[in-house]
């Protein structure tokens, strides 16, 4: 797969704006692992190889058991492997990501509201929207996953990712 364009360099102000939302989520109080599970599930639904690869690596790096990682896509079938908040967050991520098909039924909202406070649910929904936006950028511009890159390509992506991380960190520092 050949990347169509590098949106981080073409639209740095837009990426900075998304970085501000990302920074908000990291400071929202939602547990990092919960947010990363949601990011992974949204990316699985959308078929974003770049984001699936990235969030899987992040979850493993932060100590998620491989047995749990491989079952994120089938969390409904995984019994108690996922706790109540994780199951609720994953269900909410699915219904909100598939909004065109689900229209987010009242029952889904009520189920999520029974587990999360209003602020947590709003923040979780912002995180879901953010990941959907990032998925559309990565899929639309054919950003290859790290696992599929040659060593030279990996260096280019690492440089671009470092640039993006620097911009996001600068954005967080301004807040």
Higher pLDDT, 143 or 87: 87
Is residue 22 exposed (0-12), middle (13-18) or buried (19+ Cβ within 10 Å)?
Answer: buried
Say if residues 2 and 147 touch (Cβ distance below 8 Å): no
How much is the pLDDT for 40? 98
Per-residue model confidence as pLDDT tens digits over 22-37: 999 999 999 999 999 9
Kindly report the pTM of this predicted structure. Answer: 0.84
> Whose CA is closest to 165, among 25, 15, 44?
15
Per-residue model confidence as pLDDT tens digits over 79-132: 999 999 999 999 999 999 999 999 999 999 999 999 999 999 999 999 999 999
How much is the pLDDT for 173? 65
> How does the average pLDDT of the chain come out, rounded?
90
Residue 104 DSSP code: -
pLDDT grade, residue 160 (50/70/90)? low
> Residue 174: pLDDT above 90?
no
How much is the pLDDT for 2? 83
């Amino acid at each position: 797969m050949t990347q169509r364009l590098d949106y981080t360099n073409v639209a740095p102000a837009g990426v900075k704006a998304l970085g501000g939302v990302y920074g908000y989520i990291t400071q929202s109080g939602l547990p990092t692992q919960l947010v990363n599970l949601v990011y992974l599930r949204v990316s699985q639904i959308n078929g974003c190889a770049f984001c699936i690869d990235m969030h899987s690596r992040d979850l493993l790096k932060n100590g998620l058991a491989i047995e749990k990682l491989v079952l994120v896509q089938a969390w409904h079938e995984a019994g108690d492997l996922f706790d109540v908040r994780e199951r609720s967050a994953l269900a909410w991520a699915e219904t909100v990501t598939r909004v065109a098909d689900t229209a987010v039924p009242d029952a889904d909202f009520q189920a999520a509201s029974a587990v999360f406070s209003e602020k947590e649910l709003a923040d979780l929904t912002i995180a879901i929207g953010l990941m959907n936006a990032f998925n559309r950028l990565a899929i639309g511009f054919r950003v290859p996953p790290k696992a599929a890159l040659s060593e030279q390509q990996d260096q280019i992506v690492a440089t671009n990712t470092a640039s993006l991380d620097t911009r996001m960190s600068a954005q967080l520092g301004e807040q």
